[in-house]
Each structure stands twice: as C-alpha cells, then as structure tokens.
A and B are shown apart, each in its own frame.
Chain A
Amino acid sequence: MKVPILRQGNILIATIQSALTDRDLLTLQDNLSHQVIQFRSQGVVIDITELDVMDSFATRTLRNIANTLKLRGAKTIIVGMQPDVAFAMVQLGLTLPDIKTARDLDEGLTLLR
C-alpha cells in the first residue's frame, strides 16, 4: 500500500493509511527523500495514526527517514502514535532517539512553523 504524500506550503505530509510492508516503508523513504528536494520542503510530518504495530524494522526505517531528511535539509516530525503501539514499542526496547514526535497533525505542523 502506497503512502500518499501531500504538500502544504513548504511542508510535506505523509499519512500512513494501513499496515505497511517493509517494502512500502522503504518506498516512502525514497519518495520523501526525493520530494524534499523537488519541492524545497523545510519539514516533513509523518502521520502514523493508522499504524497498528511498530516493530524493529519500522522503527529503524522511521529513524533512517528522519536522519536522511535532516541531511537533505528538512526536519521530520512523527505524529499520531497510538498509545498501545507506543507501549508495545517500549516493551520491545525500541526508541526513536533524536526524533521529534507530536500527538497529532496539528501539533506537528505547529512544531514545524
């Protein structure tokens, strides 16, 4: 399932809408990396409200995306993580160090402006 990326001013918004395979996540990484240059975006919000699981691969890929985009000159904010997903992540020992998170899209956009 492809993740749609919307553009609002100089911000890109990627909204994950269903369970993602590893390949979908890697495609998202590629697409965001290209689009921040193409659209001269300053910030990227990744909305993971609909994501039902964050396992080690998803965590690592989000971290990679944020680090890649930083090198490409854009800030990344992860928004909308469900409490259950956060709880399972903590128990698995997974973290997102150095990555900004916010509770919802509104807060995420505010952080970028």
Chain B
Amino acid sequence: MIGHEASIPIITDTDIVTARQSARELAKNIGFSSSELAGIAAAISELARNIVSYAEKGMIYIRLIQESNKKGVLVIAEDKGPGISDINKALQDGYSTSNSLGLGLPGVQRLMDSFEIQSEIGKGTTVTIKKWAYE
C-alpha cells in the first residue's frame, strides 16, 4: 500500500515523539479504537526509547498491512546496537519497566497481537510487532 508507510530514523528523544505520532496518523483511518491507538503509540514509544537508550540510533518502520479481510499495522524497530544478552530475561515482567533502564518489552508484547524479537550480541536488535484492527 503506497503512501501507507513511514520510515523514521531514531536518534534523539524528539524522534521518539515523531515515531509515535506518525504511527497514530497512519493507523487512525483503518478502524482502530482510540485506546488501541494509544496502545500502539505507547508500544512504539517504548521501542524507540530502547533504540535511543541502548543502541544510540536505529530505524522505526511503520506499515499498514492487510490479510484477507483484516487490516492492521506492522512496526519494525531495528538497530545495530549491542544486542540483548538474555532475551528471555528482557521479556520477563518487572525486569525493566519499573526502573530507569527502559526496555518495557513485556508490556509491548501485551499491547500487540504479535511480537517477534531477534537480537544478536554486537550486531543489533530487531523487534517486529503487529496489531490488527477489529472490524
């Protein structure tokens, strides 16, 4: 779907705001409720923040997607940072959200319909999330 995607370089805290606002703009016309939009924005905010905090820079790609008769949004957060040494631990609740370290990955997982993470030490991390709009 041309004109239904955005690529946002993530380097500073301003880019975090840009990323979540772009996602809202893109996603608002395909049937998401306002609380789902808030959830998508919050999830992207966490992913973008992880890039700024741990990898210094990266990219967020947002794309509207369609599968049979359902529409949704796909978000890829990609960086070439240090990677996550223990992904299972990073996906445990309470590992990160309450202190200053960011991550917040379990929360992002809860907010989304699908969540995939690939990370390699020294190479970087890619998080892919999807959220479907209910008709």
A residues contacting B by CB (< 8 A) are 19-23, 52-57, 60, 82-85, 87-89, 91-94
Contacts and interface: CB of A to CB of B under 8 A. Distances in A.
Interface residues of B, number: 31
12 contacts: A22-B16, A54-B42, A55-B42, A55-B49, A57-B45, A57-B49, A82-B38, A88-B41, A92-B111, A93-B97, A93-B104, A94-B107
Chain B: interface secondary structure?
Answer: helix
Nearest to B12: A21
Interface string B1-41: 00000000000011011001100100000000011011101
Contact of A57 (B93, B102, B108, B111): B102
A100 B87 CA distance: 35
A92 B41 contact: no
Given A19-B21, A83-B35, A85-B38, 5 more contacts: A21-B13, A54-B42, A56-B49, A56-B96, A56-B104
B68 interface: no
Chain A: interface secondary structure?
Answer: helix
A113 to B, nearest CB: 32
A52 B46 contact: no
B20 A53 contact: yes
Nearest to B21: A19
A87 B35 contact: yes
Contacts of B69: none
B89 interface: no
A53 B42 contact: yes
B34 to A, nearest CB: 5
Contacts of B97: 56, 92-94
Contact of B39 (A20, A83, A87): A87
B24 A52 contact: yes
